[in-house]
Amino acid sequence: MANISTLTAETFDSVVSNDAPVLVDFWAPWCGPCRALSPIVDELADELEGRMVVAKCNVDDNQELAMKFGVMSIPTLVLFKDGEEIFRSVGALPKAKLKADLEARL
């Protein structure tokens, strides 16, 4: 099983500046679509292990990060490469669509 980091303001920059692309899942525990998407993100973390890193950021606990990256709706997935955003998805997507979108950018 892939290791999924939990991001905070203190750890965000060090995780996102990873050599591998980093997918950040901005979510909240009260968000139904977030709970629906979470197992898909977990599966993709396993399936794409070695090609990307996956991290989760609870927007309730890290509002400053949500504001910094313009996260207005959740779930929002942001793929970073070399610390720069290269892909963003808002809302719950089917696994096949999300995987294809990510693989096209890895």
- DSSP-derived secondary structure for 6-19: EP-TTTHHHHHT-S
CA gap 22, 85 in Å, rounded: 9
Q: Which residues are catalytic?
A: 31, 34
Count CB-CB contacts under 10 A for residue 106.
Answer: 14
